[in-house]
Amino acid sequence: MENQPFYTVAVIGAGPAGLYAAQELVRNGVRVVLFNRDIKPGGLAEYGVYPEKLKLKVGFRAAFSQILDSVQIEYYGNVLVGRDGDLTLEEIRSMGFQAVLVTVGAQGTKWLGLQGESLKGVYHAKDVVYHYNKLPPFSQRDYALGRRIVIVGVGNVMMDIARYSITILKADQVTAVARRGPGEIKFDKAELDAVSYNVDLDAMKVEINRLLPSIGGLSDNPEKPLSLIEAALPKAIKNDSQTRFSFRFLLSPVRILGDENDNVVGVEFEENRLVKEGDDIKAVGTGHKTKLDADSVVFAIGDSVDEKLGLPVRSPEFVKNPEPRYPMDENSYEVFDPVSGVPLQDVFLAGWARRASTGLVGITRRDGINGARALLKYLETLGEDKRTVSIDAIHDRLAQTGKPVVTKPDLVCLQTVEKDMAAKLGAADFKFASHEEMLQAIGHCRAGVRFDQPDLLGRLL
């Protein structure tokens, strides 16, 4: 955008989509103000990637730090945007920004509305992932999965939950359940190394043989999961866990069973069969029921957006303009109000906020860049827009919340302290598990306290 005015855009959410969008905006001469719910940036890359994939995380952290180094980016962490938050979306829109890009991810949880979902031991996969990745406040909650764990879903998130259950919790039995046939599994071959050692191959062969007569040619490659696991076995990571990891297919959960103390004891499923309807293959219930014993049930069935943000929602996503003014790759990045029938002129979406639970970091990066480019096309229509954003006014407004607001120098402090902690513990990585600990570490940094003092590090541990 040559010779453009010095526009200022608010980006809400500092995960991969928001950060790479900010980078794209800055490259085009736009000043960016980032508002982030969490203290740290990174989102999915920091709190969604399995902890042992440290090299990947370190690479993301370095890339994100480089983006935030830009003098054209302001960062405000520990700031919740929404109806019950520190700032409302409408308030941000009134601050003088030429446009707003929403990249908050899919922070809502998707449920099936089954009897027993409120029992103790029923969890959403995202919450468990946040827990073991030490994202407050999930890191401070107790997720008692027990010895027999049923995971509903067969995607990559299921594999992460299975890995955690097998290698960390060392559960007795982990069972992944799919509504459709074995040919429709969604996990990647790369995810198998950490769990294939514990797969009950005999049980999987029995399960596939059970299904073959009924699915016939309707399931694409019904032996796909067995072939993937057998191919992964030579690279299987051996461990001391005795967990039996198995798969069940063509089962839909109908209710969760509990005891007199409201603890999960099992899940009832309806058996499905595959039928062809036109060009589609669908799983339909047969009426026959079966039960799996369980101490916990984890739903790995995708996420939904947070309705409290203040944008129109058509579950599980925010409503997008069906006839986009600035399409990118034939996709709409524009928020649409279905009541008035018109788009919100200055509000755009990207990442999982645009399309919930779609793709991992690489996909959200591309989507963030596309969202920024759609927004840039909108800015081109504004001409010499005279609105200005006062950073001092934003500081004053955030001070009224009474909460500590985290800025870029604070992030550098926190990173320094956590590296010192890792060195003291002889660990490859260290993360504080609560907001209070992170803010305390930042406070010491602001006060000029040296972090190599053993007594200080001891108090922070």
Is there a shared CATH topology between the 8-107+304-406 domain and the 111-300 domain? Answer: no
> 374, 325 in Cβ contact below 8 A?
no
> Which option is the CATH number for 111-300: 3.40.50.970, 3.30.300.30, 3.40.50.2300, 3.50.50.60?
3.50.50.60
pLDDT for position 216: 63
List the chain domain ranges: 8-107+304-406, 111-300, 407-461
DSSP string, 112-127: ---BTTTSBTEEEHHH
3-state secondary structure of 234: helix
Residues of the chain scoring pLDDT < 70: 1-5, 216-220, 450-461
Give the pTM: 0.92
Residues, the chain:
461
What pLDDT does residue 456 have? 54
Domain 8-107+304-406 class? alpha beta
**Whole-angstrom distance, CA of residue 39 vs CA of residue 43:** 10
Instruction: Determine the straight-line distance between the first and last CA of the chain, rounded to whole angstroms.
Output: 49
- Closest by alpha carbon to 131, among 120, 145, 118, 119? 145
Radius of gyration of the chain (CA): 24
Give the integer Cα–Cα distance in Å for 168 and 460.
25
Write out pLDDT tens, residues 368-392. Answer: 999 999 999 999 999 887 788 999 9
Task: Give the whole-angstrom CA distance, residue 28 versus residue 25.
Answer: 5
**What pLDDT shows up at residue 1?**
47
Confidence at residue 129, expressed as pLDDT on a 0 to 100 scale = 97
Helix (H) or strand (E) holding 374: helix 361-379
pLDDT for 6: 76
DSSP H or E stretch at residue 295: none
